[in-house]
């Protein structure tokens, strides 16, 4: 029964995400399947400076204010360039909790933020952002592999991942522009 509810929840999420805003120059592609993990790689232009995008992507407590489906995000621990973040994420009828270990690499360009699952409801999560400075602002690369640990048909997982990416980029673009605007006041 639990698997059925998750499947129904994911189907509703896929329909709800069908009308997404495609950011400028967005390219989204599925990564090769690894076991039961599904992944995606995306690139798009964010018309904000890399510093603003970096601030947006590393302001973890603010994620529930603008990141799609994030209900809670708390910094559990921070040591130098490494943070441990606890996230509560909503997938229509199901809330998912997990902890990520996030490494911030900002000493050399391009800047990179890489994460992996430490514990929680999902079997595995590994991903990263890479921020490239370009004349138009930032070319933001995103890559993530997720294994929910539950049976979800691959085509549904891929559809959800690919359809949610434009919403993620839109949220980051809007929040980064707001941060730049606030900093110029």
- Please, are residues 75 and 58 in contact by the beta-carbon 8 Å criterion? no
φ and ψ of 56, to 5 deg = -60, -45
The reply to whether 37 falls in a domain is yes
Tokens, residue 144: 């993530």
Q: Distance between alpha carbon 27 and the CA centroid of its chain, in Å?
A: 15
Count of Cβ atoms closer than 10 Å to residue 178 Cβ: 14
Does any domain span residue 79? Answer: no
25: containing domain: 2-58+104-183
- Whether 178 maps to a domain, the answer reads yes
pLDDT of residue 99: 97
| R_g of the chain computed on alpha carbons | 16
Q: Is residue 88 part of a domain?
A: no
Number of domains forming the structure of the chain: 1
Contact (CB, 8 A) for 159 and 14: yes
Residue 90 inside a domain? The answer is no
Is residue 155 included in any domain, yes or no? yes
Place of tokens 């996030």: 102
Q: Which residues of the chain have pLDDT under 70?
A: 1-23, 92, 154, 157-159, 161-162
Tell me, yes or no, whether 97 lies in a domain: no
User: The tokens of 174 are what?
Assistant: 């809007």
Q: What is the DSSP letter of 91?
A: E
- Angle (nearest 5°) at CA 181 between 85 and 143: 40
Give exposure, 8-29, as e/b (b: 16+ Cβ within 10 Å).
ebbbebbeebeebeebeebebe
Q: Is 153 within a domain?
A: yes
d(CA 143, CA 100): 15
User: To the nearest whole percent, how much of the chain has pLDDT over 90?
Assistant: 59
CATH number at residue 47: 3.30.530
pLDDT at residue number 185? 83
Q: Give the span between the Cα atoms of 2 and 149, in whole angstroms.
A: 13
């Amino acid at each position: 029964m639990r698997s059925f509810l998750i499947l129904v929840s994911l189907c509703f999420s896929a329909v709800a995400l069908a009308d997404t805003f495609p950011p400028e120059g967005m390219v989204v592609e599925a990564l090769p399947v690894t076991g039961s993990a599904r992944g995606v790689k995306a690139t798009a232009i964010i018309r904000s400076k890399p510093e603003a995008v970096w601030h947006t992507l590393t302001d973890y407590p603010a994620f529930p204010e603008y990141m799609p489906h994030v209900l809670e995000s708390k910094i559990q621990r921070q040591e130098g360039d490494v943070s441990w973040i606890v996230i509560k994420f909503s997938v229509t009828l199901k809330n998912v909790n997990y902890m990520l270990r996030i490494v911030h690499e900002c000493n050399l360009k391009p800047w990179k933020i890489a994460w992996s699952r430490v514990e929680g409801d999902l079997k595995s999560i590994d991903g990263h952002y890479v921020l490239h400075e370009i004349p138009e602002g930032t070319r933001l690369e995103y890559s993530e592999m997720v294994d929910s640990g539950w049976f979800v048909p691959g085509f549904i997982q891929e559809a959800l991942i690919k359809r949610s990416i434009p919403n993620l980029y839109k949220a980051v673009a809007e929040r980064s522009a707001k941060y730049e605007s606030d900093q110029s006041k």
